[in-house]
């Protein structure tokens, strides 16, 4: 009986982890882009669909496979946290080899899309566009979004320890990028990851805070 209970618990935890979302890696410019189609245009200009689902990581990394500069157009509602981290790591790898990455936010650049945005060497945001940051989380009971927000701000959480640890690993990665690339302090990071479940930043705020390097 104990063994069966352990197996069931492991399956539930695995399912929860698989649906961990931070808003991930959707990039699009217009409605002409077909679902899940990836286009590489003009020698490094990349257009992605607007939402990435878990399991699509290989396709998106394939688009970044060539050793060259990239201009990434972002208009994203989000997707998988794991896919986001994979793309972030690939961008870092290209930058370490001396390639320039430009990220450009046309409209809503939310969640993981915002984290992809901050990876650019040149970060262009269009007037009226918005970024949205939040900590890693997943859809819990009755549609309630579960995250580390309450744990970080109050020290209390109803989440199982395994889930707290897995979400903390993801958040630590995003926090490190916010600190190293933007110079955000611990308080800055807590403000943009945990002040609310969805923390919006306007184009003017992004420029003022150094999150964007140019507003168009």
Q: What is the pLDDT of residues 164-215, one digit of tens each?
A: 777 888 888 999 999 999 999 999 998 998 888 889 999 999 999 999 999 9
Q: Would the CA dihedral through 203, 205, 208, 212 be positive or negative?
A: negative
pLDDT in tens, 38-77: 333 334 556 555 555 545 566 677 778 888 888 888 887 7
Token pair in block for residue 214: 């140019």
- Set out the domains of the chain in order of their start, with CATH numbers: 2-215 (3.90.226.10)
pTM of the model: 0.75
- pLDDT greater at residue 162 or residue 11: 162
pLDDT classification of 34: cutoffs 50, 70, 90: very low
- Quick one: which H or E segment has residue 202? strand 199-202
Token pair in block for residue 192: 């943009």
Residue ranges with strand state E in 53-177: 70-76, 78-79, 101-110, 122-125, 130-133, 137-139, 145-147
Distances (CA, A) of 104 to 127, 136, 173, 182, 184: 11, 23, 22, 16, 21
pLDDT classification of 145: cutoffs 50, 70, 90: low
Q: Check whether 23 has a pLDDT greater than 50.
A: no
Q: How many CB atoms lie within 10 A of CB 58?
A: 9
Q: Check whether 4 has a pLDDT greater than 90.
A: no
């Amino acid at each position: 009986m104990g063994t069966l209970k352990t197996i069931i618990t492991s399956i539930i935890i695995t399912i929860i982890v698989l649906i961990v979302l931070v808003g991930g890696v959707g990039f699009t410019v217009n409605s002409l882009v077909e679902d899940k189609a990836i286009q590489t245009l003009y020698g490094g200009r990349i257009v992605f669909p607007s939402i990435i689902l878990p399991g699509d990581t290989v396709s998106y990394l394939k688009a970044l496979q060539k050793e060259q500069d990239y201009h990434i157009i972002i208009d994203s509602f989000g997707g998988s946290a794991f896919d986001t981290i994979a793309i972030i790591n690939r961008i870092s790898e290209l930058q370490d080899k001396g390639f320039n990455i430009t990220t450009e936010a046309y409209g809503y650049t939310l969640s993981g899309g915002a984290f992809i945005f901050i990876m650019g060497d040149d970060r262009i945001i269009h007037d009226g566009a918005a970024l949205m940051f939040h900590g890693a989380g997943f859809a819990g009971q009755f549609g309630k979004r579960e995250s580390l927000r309450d744990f970080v701000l109050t020290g209390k959480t109803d989440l199982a320890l395994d889930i707290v640890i897995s979400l903390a690993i993801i958040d630590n990665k995003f926090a490190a990028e916010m600190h190293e690339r933007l110079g955000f302090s611990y308080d800055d990071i807590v403000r943009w990851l945990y002040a609310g479940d969805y923390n919006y930043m306007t184009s003017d705020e992004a420029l003022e805070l150094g999150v964007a390097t140019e507003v168009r």
